[in-house]
């Protein structure tokens, strides 16, 4: 399949070398299985530049090298929220024409196409490969054993009532939406945005691209956090630690001390799978997922475009690098990465790939992609996410209530991005 994609392109000069940045052993292993076909069909030599493993360290090094002009030709952007800032800074090559004429484009889910674009100019800057599909994962075995309903919660009130029943009947923590400074961007990506999407006013941006941080939806989300904290439904102390995900996700959930948490399909491999820190036996029978309910009803599956393939705007072999990026958007590449990472291929035709059948933990999530949703950010997203981390930290420590946390978020973003980046209270 990969060879068929590439064979229509004329071979490049044999001496051409393309440098690709990659990190983490599982990602490096996936990439290396794909390189022989890419090198053979394009007539190039690919050199893999190994970056630091943690996502934050990877991104920090990437931005540093982009600024200095030393970055590799091809690299991944960890989250769609980072595309706008990198594109606005002039680091990413425009891939719009190449994507729209690529034979894989028609197979991409619409959400992936949308998230590959920067909001400020609607140009495409990455080739989508995999998506993070995130829901509420719960310990089905424990809830059933304690006579607690495992039915899909209809709204926030029913989700809170489920949490109260868990606390009363098990004595354990009920529900985790990541929060706090040390969780970093995850306080937004794995926590806040799930609630904002189902709030009474889910729009984060105005039509002209300013952040709506005075909205009722932002207040709704912070009030939900406040309720979890005040009623003792969520763990607090672990969230104030360095690496706050370790205790609740890797220890408490496997031990049955936390029974519901936001997470993504990757958790079925890295957090609780057979090779994880604390594997949950018979995982697919003991753990199940709900959609995240809305405040007043409705339900949604959140998705994010993760590790889309980008091309360095300053690459001296930019046109060839674009062809490599498109090759890495193939079904073969998506399956290779999904096998080790637990993420979901961004292409619908991945379901017909011979390797898809073995990926049982992503079948349902892949089937949900046509109805998946996202909350799109714009330039300044890193500031927004840092503001959410600070706002939720103030709730965890009891320094602020929801109103004060919203004010803190608004002031933080405005102070860094300027008044022009933030909408007024009635916009």
**pTM for this entry:** 0.93
Is the separation of the CB atoms in 211 and 410 below 8 Å? no
Q: Which residues pair with 117 in a beta bridge?
A: 124
Is the separation of the CB atoms in 235 and 176 below 8 Å? yes
| Straight-line distance from the first to the last Cα atom of the chain, in angstroms, rounded to the nearest whole number | 49
Report pLDDT for 4. Answer: 46
- For every residue of 11-37, DSSP letters joined together read PPPTT-EEEEEE-SHHHHHHHHHHHHH
pLDDT, tens digit (0-9, with 9 covering 90-100), for 359-414 = 998 999 999 999 999 999 999 999 999 999 999 999 999 999 999 999 999 999 99
* Strand pairing report for 260-264 and 292-293: unpaired
Which superfamily does 2-131+306-366 belong to?
Answer: Periplasmic binding protein-like II (3.40.190.10)
- Distances 317 to 11, 12, 18, 354 between C-alpha atoms, Å: 14, 11, 8, 34
pLDDT, tens digit (0-9, with 9 covering 90-100), for 63-99 = 999 999 999 999 999 999 999 999 999 999 999 999 9
pLDDT, tens digit (0-9, with 9 covering 90-100), for 330-362 = 999 999 999 989 999 999 999 999 999 999 989
Average pLDDT over residues 200-208: 96
Is the pLDDT reported for residue 3 higher than 50? no
Write down how long the chain is. Answer: 427
* Domain regions of the chain by residue span: 2-131+306-366, 133-302+379-421
- Reported confidence tier of residue 318, pLDDT bands at 50, 70, 90: very high
Report pLDDT for 53. Answer: 87
| DSSP designation for 187 | I
Supply the mean pLDDT for the chain: 95
Average pLDDT over residues 137-153: 98
In SS3 terms, 281-300 reads as CCHHHHEEEECEECCCCCEE
Both structure tokens of 391: 């706002």
| DSSP designation for 391 | H
Average pLDDT over residues 294-308: 96
Phi–psi pair at 127, nearest 5 degrees: -95, 115
Do 2-131+306-366 and 133-302+379-421 come out as alike in CATH topology? Answer: yes
- Distances 55 to 61, 186, 306 between C-alpha atoms, Å: 10, 11, 11
Phi–psi pair at 133, nearest 5 degrees: -110, 120
Report pLDDT for 8. Answer: 46
Beta strands in 291-341 (DSSP E): 292-293, 299-300, 302-311
Q: Which residue, 275, 292, 270, 353, is CA-closest to 104?
A: 353
Both structure tokens of 274: 């057979």
CB-count exposure of residue 141 (10 Å: 0-12, 13-18, 19+): middle
| DSSP designation for 191 | I
Average pLDDT over residues 200-217: 97
Report pLDDT for 22. Answer: 97
Which superfamily does 133-302+379-421 belong to?
Answer: Periplasmic binding protein-like II (3.40.190.10)
Q: How far apart are CA 271 and CA 399, in angstroms?
A: 31
Q: How far apart are CA 92 and CA 77, in angstroms?
A: 10
Both structure tokens of 199: 């709030």
Report pLDDT for 11. Answer: 52
Both structure tokens of 422: 């933030």
Percent of the chain clearing pLDDT 90 (strictly above): 93
Question: Containing H/E element for 129?
Answer: none
Q: How far apart are CA 98 and CA 91, in angstroms?
A: 17
Q: How far apart are CA 366 and CA 355, in angstroms?
A: 14
Can you list the alpha helix ranges (DSSP code H) found in 43-170? 55-68, 83-88, 96-100, 110-115, 140-145, 156-170
- Reported confidence tier of residue 2, pLDDT bands at 50, 70, 90: low
Beta strands in 87-150 (DSSP E): 130-139
Is the separation of the CB atoms in 328 and 74 below 8 Å? yes
Which one is predicted more confidently, 234 or 425? 234
pLDDT, tens digit (0-9, with 9 covering 90-100), for 33-68 = 999 999 999 999 999 999 998 888 999 999 999 999
């Amino acid at each position: 399949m990969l060879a068929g994609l590439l064979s229509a392109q004329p071979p490049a000069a044999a001496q051409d070398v393309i440098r690709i940045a990659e990190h983490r052993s599982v990602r490096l292993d996936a990439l290396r299985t794909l390189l022989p076909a890419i090198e053979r069909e394009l007539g190039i030599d690919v050199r893999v530049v190994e970056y630091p493993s943690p996502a934050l360290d990877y991104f920090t090094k990437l931005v540093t090298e982009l600024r200095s002009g030393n970055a590799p030709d091809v690299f991944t952007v960890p989250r769609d929220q980072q595309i706008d800032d990198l594109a606005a800074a002039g680091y990413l090559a425009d891939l719009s024409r190449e994507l729209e004429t690529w034979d894989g484009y028609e197979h991409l889910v619409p959400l992936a196409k949308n998230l590959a674009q920067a909001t400020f100019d609607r140009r495409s800057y990455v080739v989508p490969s995999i998506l993070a599909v995130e829901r509420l994962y719960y310990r089905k075995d424990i809830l059933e054993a304690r006579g607690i309903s495992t039915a899909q919660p209809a709204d926030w009130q029913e989700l809170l009532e489920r949490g109260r029943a868990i606390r009363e009947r098990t004595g354990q923590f009920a529900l985790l939406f990541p929060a706090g400074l040390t969780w970093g961007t995850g306080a937004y990506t794995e926590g806040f945005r799930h609630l904002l999407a189902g709030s009474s006013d889910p729009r984060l941006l105005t039509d002209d691209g300013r952040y709506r941080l005075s909205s009722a939806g932002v207040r709704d989300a912070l009030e939900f956090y406040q309720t979890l904290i005040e009623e003792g439904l969520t763990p607090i102390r672990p969230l104030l630690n360095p690496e706050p995900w370790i205790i609740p996700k890797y220890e408490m959930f496997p031990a049955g001390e936390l029974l519901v948490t936001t997470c993504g399909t990757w958790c079925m491999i890295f957090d609780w799978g057979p090779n994880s820190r604390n594997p949950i036996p018979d995982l697919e029978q003991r753990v199940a997922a709900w959609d995240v309910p809305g405040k007043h009803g409705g339900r949604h599956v959140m998705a994010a475009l993760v590790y889309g393939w980008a091309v360095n705007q300053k690459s001296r072999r930019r046109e060839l690098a674009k062809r490599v990026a498109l090759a890495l958007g193939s079904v073969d590449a998506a399956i290779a990465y999904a096998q080790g990472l637990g993420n979901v291929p961004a292409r619908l035709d991945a379901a017909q790939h011979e390797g898809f059948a073995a990926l049982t933990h992503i079948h349902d999530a892949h089937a949900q992609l046509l109805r998946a949703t996202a909350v799109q950010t714009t330039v300044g997203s890193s500031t927004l996410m840092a503001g959410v981390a600070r706002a939720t930290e103030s709730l965890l420590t009891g320094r602020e209530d929801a109103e004060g946390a919203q004010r803190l978020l608004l002031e933080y973003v405005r102070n860094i991005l300027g008044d022009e980046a933030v909408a007024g209270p009635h916009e």
